[in-house]
């Protein structure tokens, strides 16, 4: 462990620090020193006694851990939260695509994303992989909230609600990557929607662009039975095999959902270093299916957690996502030790960072890493006693227990309040929602 410096920007004190390193090193009465946006040192409180800090965050015996990495989201879709419940993926998409066609503009994406990102920050998320139209608007919202973002151009086989015909879509994608490469707090991925909305030639074009730009791919795959049928009709095979034919099943690729996989596909994903964003909230709500999470993990695949958008899973809560991931894995396997709480917290932190290609910078509290960390307060009745911090986090805590959140060393949530002013975004989302309700009533 690195020794504490004489001075630092921020010192987090009196925490049960979970570093989430590979050995799960934890310090019961610990401190974290932060300088220039990075972790400077971690150690017992006794060793931090003389450190001069510009700001001190007292964890008051709470848990200090890396911020959650949400590896699959559509933040702006909070605009459509609760609009199309109680139906499977195909019916859900029909309703949501109609609402999107009428209401999605760069301005509404900016407002929806700001709210979605604020919701995530308040729940302990410090980095999110977000796929949505008008990604510049989400980039703008993330900068405002202060949260880390992986964004990128969306590829869909038809013109889409952003009205980009395919050749222009390719040009926009390249321009987006060029414009944002090296932007602080922003990482890039290409975001083809899925094998059911893109044909083989288009998928191959995205792979070629990804190779040429050196930017990895994030895509939905094998989410629901209806998708399996659509992909079989369009490509004559399964989604993973269709993506493999297009060259996308390779290191760096991140698949969202990956529910319906056969044994050979699981072996292939593990062997090629393809990561999976497990989205149990939306998988359960849309009856998409129970992902073969434990099989993927025992095959050696990188598995992480995503909330998906609020239109399908209805909230962007990584605590509920962790709990449901554990409970569904246990229920599906019939073994209560199928997925220990500690491993679920790892999926939400360091494995999430690895899945997003950020493992060298994020997901662990060790010297030199980005200071993306959260403080979970343990003083509420439902968290007393806390024998095992991982168990408390997965099975008892909720996002309202998140007291402080820092992203790259800057506070984005302080004393349970979002630091950024999102008042105008709230008003804008309310205005969109009332016009959606009015048009839904007319229909």
Min CB(68)–Zn ion separation in Å: 17
Residue sitting closest to Zn ion (CB): 308
> Shortest distance, CB of residue 100 to Zn ion, whole angstroms?
13
- 302 neighbors 358 (Cβ within 8 angstroms): no
Q: How many CA atoms lie within 13 A of 145 on its CB side?
A: 37
CB of 220: closest distance to Zn ion in angstroms? 5
Identify the CA nearest to 72 among candidates 298, 390, 327, 291.
Answer: 291
* Minimum CB distance to Zn ion smaller for 68 or for 132: 132
- In whole angstroms, give the CA distance from residue 13 to residue 48: 9
- Cα–Cα distance, 88 to 82 (Å, whole number): 14
Q: 197 in helix, strand or coil?
A: coil
- Compare residues 308 and 425 and give the one whose CB is closer to Zn ion: 308
Residue-wise DSSP of 82-113: TSS-SS-HHHHHHHHHHHHHHH--HHHHHHHH
Cβ at position 38, least distance to Zn ion in Å: 32
User: Which residue, 265 or 308, has its beta carbon nearer to Zn ion?
Assistant: 308
Distance in Å, CB of 133 to Zn ion, minimum = 13
Indicate the angle between helix axes 166-180 and 135-145, nearest 10 degrees: 30
Q: Are 154 and 109 in contact (CB under 8 A)?
A: no
Residue 386 beta carbon to Zn ion: minimum distance, rounded to whole angstroms: 33
Strand order across the beta sheet in which 68-73 lies: 68-73, 125-130, 148-151, 186-188
Cβ 131 to Zn ion shortest distance, Å:
7
In the bound state with Zn ion, the residue whose beta carbon lies nearer, of 308 and 343, is 308
Nearer to Zn ion, 129 or 374 (CB): 129
3-state helix, strand, coil in the chain (%, to 5): 40, 20, 35
- State the nearest-atom distance from the C-beta of 308 to Zn ion, in Å: 5
- Closest CB to Zn ion among residues 125, 375: 125
Which are the contacts of 30, defined by CB distance < 8 A and separation ≥ 6? 15, 16, 17, 42, 43, 44, 45, 64
> What's the rounded Cα separation, in Å, for the pair 28 and 47?
13
Q: Which residues bind Zn ion (CB under 5 A)?
A: 308
Smaller CB distance to Zn ion: residue 36 or 94?
94
By beta-carbon proximity to Zn ion, the closer residue of 187 and 223 is 223
Q: Which residue has the tokens 């729940």?
A: 123
Provide the β-strand partners of residue 34: 10, 39
Q: DSSP character for 394? A: I
Quick one: DSSP state of residue 3? P
CB 256 to Zn ion: min, Å: 5
Closer residue to Zn ion (CB): 249 or 255: 255
Phi-psi region of 107 (alpha: psi -120 to 50; beta: other; left: phi over 0): alpha
């Amino acid at each position: 462990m690195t020794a504490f410096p004489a001075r630092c920007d921020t010192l987090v004190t009196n925490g049960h620090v979970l570093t989430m390193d590979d050995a799960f090193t934890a310090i019961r009465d610990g401190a974290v020193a932060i300088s220039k946006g990075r972790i400077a040192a971690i150690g017992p409180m006794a060793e931090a006694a003389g450190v001069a800090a510009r700001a001190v965050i007292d964890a008051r015996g709470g848990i200090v851990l890396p911020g959650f990495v949400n590896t699959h989201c559509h933040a702006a879709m909070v605009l459509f939260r609760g609009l199309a419940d109680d139906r499977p993926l195909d019916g859900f998409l029909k309703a949501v695509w109609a609402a999107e066609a009428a209401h999605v503009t760069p301005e509404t994406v900016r407002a929806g994303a700001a709210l979605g990102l604020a919701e995530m920050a308040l729940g302990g998320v410090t980095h999110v992989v977000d796929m949505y139209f008008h990604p510049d608007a989400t980039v703008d919202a993330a900068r405002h909230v202060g949260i880390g973002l992986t964004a990128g151009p969306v590829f869909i086989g038809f013109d889409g609600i952003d009205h980009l015909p395919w050749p222009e879509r390719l040009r926009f994608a390249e321009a987006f990557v060029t414009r944002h490469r090296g932007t602080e707090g922003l990482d890039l991925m290409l975001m083809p929607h899925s094998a059911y909305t893109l044909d083989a030639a288009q998928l191959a074009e995205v792979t070629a662009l990804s190779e040429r730009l050196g930017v990895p791919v994030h895509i939905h795959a094998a989410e629901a039975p209806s998708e399996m049928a659509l992909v079989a009709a369009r490509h004559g095979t399964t989604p993973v095999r269709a993506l493999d034919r297009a060259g996308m099943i390779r290191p760096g690729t991140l698949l969202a959902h990956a529910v319906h996989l056969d044994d050979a596909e699981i072996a292939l994903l593990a062997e090629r270093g393809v990561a999976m964003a497990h989205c149990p909230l939306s998988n359960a709500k849309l009856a998409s299916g129970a992902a073969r999470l434990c099989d993927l993990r025992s095959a050696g695949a990188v598995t992480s957690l995503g909330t998906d958008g609020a239109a399908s899973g209805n909230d962007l809560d990584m605590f509920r996502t962790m709990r449901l991931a554990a409970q569904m894995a246990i229920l599906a396997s019939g073994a209560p030790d199928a997925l220990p709480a500690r491993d679920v917290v790892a999926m939400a932190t360091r494995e999430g960072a690895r899945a997003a290609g950020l493992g060298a910078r994020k997901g662990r509290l060790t010297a030199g890493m980005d200071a993306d960390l959260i403080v979970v307060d343990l003083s509420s009745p439902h968290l007393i006693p806390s024998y095992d911090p991982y168990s408390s986090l997965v099975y008892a805590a909720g996002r309202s227990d998140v007291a402080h959140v820092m992203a790259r060393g800057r506070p984005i949530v302080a004393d349970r309040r979002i630091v950024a002013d999102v008042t105008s975004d709230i008003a804008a989302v309310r205005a969109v929602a009332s016009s959606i309700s009015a048009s839904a009533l007319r229909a």
